[in-house]
Structure 1
Amino acid sequence: MIEEDISKTFDGSVGNDIGNVYIDSSKEAEKRMKEYLGQIHNPYCFQCGSTVVRVSFNQEGKELKDLMLKFFSRLNGI
């Protein structure tokens, strides 16, 4: 995995705080996605209030859908 200097990928002044993102739910999925990306700028590095969120994935790791299924199954006691 390539590690990037967060200062190169994140600039809080560009308005990419996820709390300020508005998506019109009446639009079709592709337009909502484009709207989201246009507002958040970088979906892998954004701000949530005063917290910087940086998303990365392990290429050798388990798939997210499998991890989410396991997580929610445990919550439901399955």
Structure 2
Amino acid sequence: MTDIKDLTNPDTLVDINDISVNKDLPKPERIKEYIRQIKNPYCFKCGNFVVTAKYSDKGLSIEDCLQSIIV
């Protein structure tokens, strides 16, 4: 079982700059591949920064945000 500390420990987070998804794949496959590589789409690194996704009643959904990254 994954320890919650490992999910937010910067040393164990995936850097989004290291993610590469084949844009020729169908959209559902691109999403699966992104999730497979990033491991935790709600908490990851971008260079030296830790990015944490949070829900809000307003603004874009997580699906919209992910689509803008991988489309």
Into which bin does the TM-score normalised by the smaller protein fall? Answer: 0.5 to 0.7
State the alpha-carbon separation in 2 of the partners of residues 22 and 12 from structure 1.
Answer: 20
In the superposition, the TM-score normalised over structure 2's length comes to 0.67
Q: Which 5+ residue runs of structure 2 have no aligned equivalent?
A: 62-71
Q: Deviations over 1:9-43 (max 9, x none)?
A: 22444461000000000100111111100110000
Q: Which has the higher contact order (CA 8 A, sep 6+)?
A: 2
Amino-acid identity (%): 34
- Residue matched to 2:58: 62
Cα RMSD for the two superposed structures: 2.2
Provide runs of 4+ in structure 1 moved above 3 Å: 11-15
Cα deviation, residue 52, structure 1: 0.2
Q: Which has the larger radius of gyration?
A: 1
In the superposition, the TM-score normalised over structure 1's length comes to 0.62
> Which of 36, 39, 42 does residue 40 from structure 2 map onto?
42
How many residue pairs end up in the alignment? 58
Q: Which 5+ residue runs of structure 1 have no aligned equivalent?
A: 1-5, 66-78
Tell me, yes or no, if structure 1 residue 32 matches structure 2 residue 30.
yes
Q: Which amino acid aligns with 1:64?
A: L
